[in-house]
Amino acid sequence: MSRFRFVLGEIGQGLRRNMSMAISVVLVTFVSLTFVGSAALLQMQIGKMKGEWYDRVEVSVFLCPNGTPRVETCAGGEATQDQIAEIRGILEAPAMDSYVDEIFFETKEQAYEAVRAQAGDEDWFQLLSVDQMQASFRVKLTDPTQIDIVMDEVAGRTGVEEVLDQREIFEPIFLVMNRATVLSVGLAVVMTVTAVLLITTTIRLSAMSRRRETEIMRFVGASNFFIQLPFMLEGALAALLGAVLATGTLWFGVRYGVEDWLSSSVGFVTDYVTTAEVWVIAPILAAIGIAIAAISSLVSLSRYTKV
């Protein structure tokens, strides 16, 4: 018990002597771990969005419209009933049963009504007519990863103007989010290196300022571990406090920025990260903070606690 009190006393003494440096360690660890946590939460959000959106991915088969053809498959003009029946037959063939879950045919009239519902009273809608619209098939897939098989079966056939892979709509969003993750990771690495250097300097200054006490402890037979333990705990305590602040910041951001504001403002995403995910990564942030302190301690103490 006396040894435990001694270690606590040494920690308190060290923190008082180097209070400004200890605060700096807390702050730089807090910033670096906030970036680490942000990158982790971004990746979790990307995973949720991919799982949600890719499960709803459809193949859109747009048939040739009335008017000037834009592709060779529409050289004969608007898709005929025979061509539409042929494409439907391909999609409903037994060979496609394992890939196609549901087929919906949208007529020009239905397409016009769908645009009307979205456009409302917009002026540009008054320039459209039913005859300008184009019929299409919407194909819901059993397995969205097999989308290329379905597309290859109907693409390039007479009467088909375009086959649209809806994943192309989502990919730019995921690209931006992935780049944001890379940026967060890059900043986190820079700040982590800064934290290691700062903790190393702090422990080094603390060890040098208490060199006389270290000499006395060595002369009375104290082990290297017992001598180094207060310095190690100082760094670990500061890093752990930085991890707690980072976790609190992330929790606050997700709770009020995502769950309250973003989920009500951006409705096309229904599955956002929650504070539950913050608690999942909280132990990881704490472990990283302690690891930073451990690495810094190993770099400093082996030299500066020798007498």
Mark whether 156 and 203 lie in a shared domain. no
Domain boundary among 165, 199, 218: 165
The one-digit pLDDT tens for each residue of the chain (307 residues) are 545 454 455 555 555 556 666 777 788 888 888 988 988 888 888 888 776 676 677 888 999 988 878 888 898 888 989 999 999 999 999 889 888 988 999 998 998 888 888 776 777 777 788 888 899 999 988 887 788 888 899 998 999 999 988 777 777 777 777 788 888 888 888 877 887 787 777 777 766 666 666 655 565 555 555 556 666 777 778 888 899 999 999 999 999 988 888 777 765 566 788 999 999 999 999 998 888 887 777 777 665 555 4
Pick from 179, 184, 176, 180: which is nearest to 33 by CA? 184
- Residue ranges making up the domain that contains 283: 2-53+171-304
Would you state the pLDDT for residue 248?
A: 95
The residue type found at 262 is L
- How many domains is the chain partitioned into structurally? 2
For residue 159, what is the domain's CATH number?
3.30.70.3040
| Residue 205 to residue 197: CA distance in whole angstroms | 12
Residues 46 and 75 in one domain: no
Contact 137, 91 (CB under 8 A): yes
Predicted pLDDT of residue 270: 65
Q: What pLDDT does residue 2 have?
A: 47
Instruction: Tell me the angle at which helices 81-91 and 147-154 cross, rounded to the nearest 10 degrees.
Output: 150
Torsion over CA: 129, 135, 141, 145 (sign): negative
pTM over 0.85: no
Q: Which pLDDT score, from 0 to 100, does residue 16 have? A: 58
